[in-house]
Structure 1
Amino acid sequence: MDPIHSTSTFTEIVNEEVIYQNPLLFLKIWEMSSDTPQFGPPTPWRWHSHMQVEFLVVIEGQLGIQTKHDYTVMAPGDVMVLGSSQPHRTYKHSADALRQIVFQIDLKQHFDLSTMPYLHCFSELTHPLEQFNELFQSNDAVKQAAYNLIMQIYEESQSRKIGYELAISAAVKNLLLLMLRNDNRDFSALVEDSGISRVRPALDFIDEHLSERISVEDMCSVLNLSYHYFIKYFKKVMGISFVDYVNYKRIKKAERLLLTGDLSIMEVSFEVGILNMAQFYKLFKRHNQCSPKEFKQRMRSQSGLTPLLAQAD
């Protein structure tokens, strides 16, 4: 099958529920394999997402993967990370047998009081995790080390020897440390007591009321803080202003709604609490460098994927 010319109709995004293998470790890791000669995007080639971060490791064969921004063909030894709730879809890229490790994890659950100041270094808001893929692609030593750590986590989860929980927790922290210390971005300004637990009720309130008007006064009431103190404190903790955070969450929800294909652009705008269409277009383009209509067309068709496929081959 020729992946460039194969057809793939998109109907909906599957919001996948991840059942943890060990609820206290907040992760699921397993091997997927295919020995069949068939390859190329299936029909339909469905998108899916989940709240957990996902690492992909290819042991054998080639894996094609499309995300919101990119298309990649992974080869043996390659590692890729996908951020929380990021839509993606994969397929077997060659006739060779394919073996891969899929590692899904709720990263924030692996931060305790002593390591909480580093949580922002892996924030989807200020430092998208996909940017770490540039590190894996440019630094073979880091890629190999990440590969080995993920394989160690997989082997420990399979063996379940005494103390395997300690071994997995240590490997997860070593994986985060590896990424942190080898990344080119300056994280020093983020490494301080974040106070994330203090604003958690406000973040939950925002998630639950995105389709409504959300004001600073609402947040002050939830957290029992004064107006000016909340504004300063929220930005210090989250790294961005309250207004920018709410807009970010609205646009992320809009992206998911556009991917379902069920609502018009105006309906999506209203559903995420933006009643001014001009404002919705402006915010959406700021986050995606394209209009909502262009985003929907790009994600639902092969037209935007074909040039990337050609470059990858």
Structure 2
Amino acid sequence: MRVSGKISWTECGSTINPQIRADGVHIWPFDPCFPLAVTFQVFGDRQPVRLNRHDYFEIAYVMNGEISCQIAERRLKCKQGELIVIGSSPYHRMWRHTRSHPKIATIFFMPEVICEGGVDGEQAEFLMPFYLQEGDFPFIVRANTGVPADVFGLIRRIHSALPATTRLARLSVRTYLKMALILLVNHYSAYTGSQRSKNPKQQALRRIVPLFEFLETHYNQAITVEDGAELVGISKPHFMRLFKQVTGQSFISYLNHFRIAKAQALLTSSDKPLAQISQEIGFCDQSYFGSVFRKTVRITPLTYRRHFGNSTADTHIHNTVRDLADDRHEHDGSLVPFWKLSSGSV
């Protein structure tokens, strides 16, 4: 199958192995502003990929040849035209099955690419095939279902839209990715339907959905861990464990990411001063907002606005002068205490 767009092939083992930490966690160098990547890899003669897991989600399409795959204690074979769907929990590795050099196209993405403003019940549906990967999960999607070819076509479209440096490009990538995920949701519907009633994560998600709905309209208010526990009707320790089980983050970390996502939208769609944005999303202190933004996005709010904003030419100079003053305020040299980043009140 021909692929549109320029492809840069890399050798799988030499690419992935250096990125695997001592604890077996693979760290892909995502663009922090849009954590999604498409790669094209060939299984060469070098060292096979080590057993690893990762925080992102992975979909791999075998373009030619045949590969073997170990996922937890299971060993599977994946042939040309088939798909491998891997979530963030299982340790796994892939290697070539024969002396040939099979090639795969993979898409790596973090959940926030889909759930830009935070996870709610509807958005979580897109990710169910990744969340419900118990021991008997069918990781391989066979070619005769027609799903792999359709998903690969969407991966090609995503690849052609990268790097997603504009709002239109990011919208296109999210749309193609959601189309691919809907194909997988439909394919796995029988399996996920049988797992929902007994899956602890799904039960936990249903319990805290009211909290997600509350955050959507009250994120600009002061919200503590105690408030979250009271809203879902459980103790604070139970709430903290439950929330981490569902989202993989502490409540305060999730809330900060949620607010920063709202700030990113305002930075790209409005000309509001940084001080006003920080207030509107729930940060009473602009320096703290700048610190959390840099920690989350890896660049300052001003730099993010310059790269991704859509300000008109008539207002650009005025905004730049105003935000430079704001940016100096961000870089005033003051240190944010560690307790302020991790305490229960924001």
TM-score normalised over the length of structure 1: 0.51
Tell me what 2:25 maps to. 15
Q: What are the within-5 Å matches in structure 2 for residues 130-169 of structure 1?
A: 133=138, 136-137=141-142, 140-157=145-162, 163-169=168-174
Change (3 A) 1:196 1:14: farther
SS at match of 2:100: coil
Specify the code of the residue in structure 2 equivalent to 1:194.
V
Deviations 1:123-145 (A, max 9, x none): 58962288774682386222222
| CA positional deviation for 1:66 | 0.4
Deviates more, 1:158-167 or 1:171-180: 158-167
Aligned residues: 210
| CA positional deviation for 1:229 | 4.7
Tell me what 1:60 maps to. 64
| CA positional deviation for 1:72 | 1.4
Q: Residues of 2 paired with 1:67 and 1:107: CA distance?
A: 21
8 A Cα contact 1:65 1:71, kept in partner = yes
| CA positional deviation for 1:31 | 0.8
Q: Residues of 1 paired with 2:35 and 2:244: CA distance?
A: 29
8 A Cα contact 2:84 2:139, kept in partner = no
Tell me what 1:105 maps to. 109
| CA positional deviation for 1:69 | 4.1
Tell me what 1:297 maps to. none
8 A Cα contact 1:61 1:75, kept in partner = yes
Deviations 1:57-85 (A, max 9, x none): 11111221101142112111111111114
Q: Residues of 1 paired with 2:99 and 2:62: CA distance?
A: 15
| CA positional deviation for 1:230 | 2.5
Change (3 A) 1:18 1:147: same
| Matching of residue 33 in structure 1 with residue 42 in structure 2 | yes
| Matching of residue 172 in structure 1 with residue 187 in structure 2 | no
| CA positional deviation for 1:25 | 2.5
Extract unaligned runs of 5+ from structure 1: 1-10, 201-220, 250-313
8 A Cα contact 1:54 1:82, kept in partner = yes
Identity %: 14
Q: Residues of 1 paired with 2:32 and 2:178: CA distance?
A: 18
Q: Residues of 2 paired with 1:198 and 1:234: CA distance?
A: 21
Greater Rg, structure 1 or structure 2? Answer: 2
TM-score normalised over the length of structure 2: 0.47
Q: What are the within-5 Å matches in structure 2 for residues 32-51 of structure 1?
A: 32-34=41-43, 36=44, 38=45, 42=47, 46-51=50-55
SS at match of 1:51: coil
RMSD: 4.7
Q: What are the within-5 Å matches in structure 2 for residues 129-278 of structure 1?
A: 133=138, 136-137=141-142, 140-157=145-162, 163-182=168-187, 183-184=189-190, 185-186=192-193, 194-195=209-210, 197=212, 222-224=225-227, 229-231=232-234, 242=242, 245=245
SS at match of 2:88: coil
Structure with bigger RCO (C-alpha 8 Å, 6+ apart): 1
Change (3 A) 1:168 1:225: closer
Change (3 A) 1:223 1:199: farther
Q: Residues of 1 paired with 2:50 and 2:24: CA distance?
A: 8
Q: Residues of 1 paired with 2:109 and 2:66: CA distance?
A: 23
SS at match of 1:231: coil
Q: Residues of 1 paired with 2:41 and 2:67: CA distance?
A: 11
Q: Residues of 2 paired with 1:155 and 1:72: CA distance?
A: 31
